[in-house]
Structure 1
Amino acid sequence: MKLLIAEDEKSLNDVITKKLTHEGFSVDSCFNGADALDRLLYADYDLAVLDIMMPEMSGTDVVTNLRREGKQTPVIFLTAKDTISDRVAGLNLGASYYIVKPFSFDELIARIMAVMRTASGSVTNSVTLGGLTLHTDSHITELDGKEITLTGKEYDLLEFLMINKGRILSKAKILSHVWGYDYEGGDKIVEVYMNYLRKKIDSGRDEKLIHTVRGIGYVMKVEK
């Protein structure tokens, strides 16, 4: 998945680029709107993350020119401005999301993945991996066609894992997303709940879905 990051604040640009690269994305970056437009017109990107206030050309002008040329590259706007009129203007230009600074990196990742699912036409109210299906609207979980019962926290954990299926998630990332940044109980709780899920999902099945990546964290994938 190839992304373009256009953000004139170098420190933020560097952080976003490094973190997205670490997450497995192919990332190009630039620091002004004119450069962003040039890259988007003459190269194929799966998604662009654009700051609105940039030198030479604003993020909104980049998108206006991009659409005029017939390019429909999905866009996420970053901005320090948070008014209803700004949001409406950005969305009317065809932006998929409008993220207000400061933002959490997990939020950016979630928005990127949501845009990619939309662009691929795979947006549904369910997520499937192997014989496991998670219905995100009703919170019903089915394994091999049969409903399984999960507690609220088990569901929250499984949903985060399923949305990020195929990606290795550290215990720290899971803890902060599922239990919140202010949770003070330590990351042992992650192991406890992963064991709960394993008993309900992987126990007695040849096709294992929850995997430990030693020294790093966990990943959801099909493996026999």
Structure 2
Amino acid sequence: MRVLVVEDEVRTAAVLRRGLVEEGYAVDVAGDGIDAVWRATETAYDAVVLDLMLPGIDGFEVCRRLRAGHRWAPVLMLTARVYVDDRIRGLDAGADDYLPKPFSFGELTARLRALVRRGAAHRPVVLRVGAVELDPAGHRAWRDGAPVDLTAKEFALLHLLLCHPDEVLTRTYITEHVWDDAFDATSNIVDQYVRYLRRKIDRVGDPSLIETVRGVGYRLCVPLERAAADCGADVRGADVRRADVRGHRTPPAGNDGR
């Protein structure tokens, strides 16, 4: 496993490098934020150990730039700051874990192993499908760059759909992830909120971004050109993914999916 250690304090960087090498990692060291962004952009690291206080640009900005550049290596953020707000900022900037200084080296390596097991999955800070964007941390949404005012449940529904682009989500699956156990599963509240959401994110004269799959549920459509770019294939790759159904259960007789 190859790890990037970003630490401006030379002695601390040397200790981290020596310890990680002894654990079997290949380790590179960056002493400032600009170098860290360059290295993590040019090299496919399995994880990044990132100090928060750096010369040039700080760890928050390093993490934001990596995620904006579609670099998804797990980031373990280190800092001597003890404020909860700093931890929140770090995680919302795209970090995967947070370890305050001083720390046990054994805990650091255990956290690194856990992060590496998860892999470098695609997990942008701001979710984006076509012309729709959503910032979960800031609780903001946009269509074609214009802000969209959403209620809490509309926001949660759009968040769920954006997390599963081009997948069919059954009403049961949506209910289980947006509403709680007190929800009446026999009601049509999912359909109602899909209609509310369509009114706010669709454009008059254009097909709805949220497609009804008769007898099953709903799917957030991915523009074919985006699907081809993301998977490195032609547009037929999007058609293959359209067969995916999340939480599918056989619908009751007479349910036409409307």
TM-score by length of 1: 0.52
SS in 2 for 1:76: strand
The match for 2:96 is 96
The match for 1:40 is 40
Partner Cα separation in structure 2 for residue 118 and residue 18 of structure 1: 24
Q: What does residue range 19-30 of structure 1 map to in structure 2 within 5 Å?
A: 19-30=19-30
1:60 aligns with 2:60: yes
The match for 1:76 is 76
How far did 1:82 drift?
1.4
SS in 1 for 2:87: helix
How far did 1:57 drift?
1.2
How far did 1:7 drift?
0.3
Q: Which runs of 4+ in 1 moved over 2 A?
A: none
SS in 1 for 2:49: strand
Partner Cα separation in structure 2 for residue 115 and residue 107 of structure 1: 12
The match for 1:4 is 4
- In the alignment of these two chains, the number of paired residues is 121
Q: CA RMSD in A?
A: 1.2
Which structure shows the bigger proportion of residues in strand conformation?
1
SS in 1 for 2:50: strand
Would you say the 8 A contact 2:5–2:13 is kept in 1?
A: yes
SS in 2 for 1:111: helix
1:117 aligns with 2:117: yes
Partner Cα separation in structure 2 for residue 66 and residue 117 of structure 1: 20
The match for 2:107 is 107
Partner Cα separation in structure 2 for residue 119 and residue 44 of structure 1: 12
How far did 1:113 drift?
0.5
Q: Which residue identity is paired with 2:110?
A: A
Q: Deviations over 1:182-202 (max 9, x none)?
A: xxxxxxxxxxxxxxxxxxxxx
- Aligned residues with identical type, % of pairs: 40
Q: Which residue identity is paired with 2:87?
A: R
How far did 1:120 drift?
7.1
SS in 2 for 1:27: strand
The match for 1:143 is none
How far did 1:30 drift?
1.4
Q: Which has the larger radius of gyration?
A: 2
SS in 2 for 1:102: coil
Moved more, 35-44 or 112-121: 112-121
Gapped runs of 5+ residues in structure 1? 122-224
How far did 1:34 drift?
0.5
Gapped runs of 5+ residues in structure 2? 122-258
The match for 2:146 is none
TM-score by length of 2: 0.46
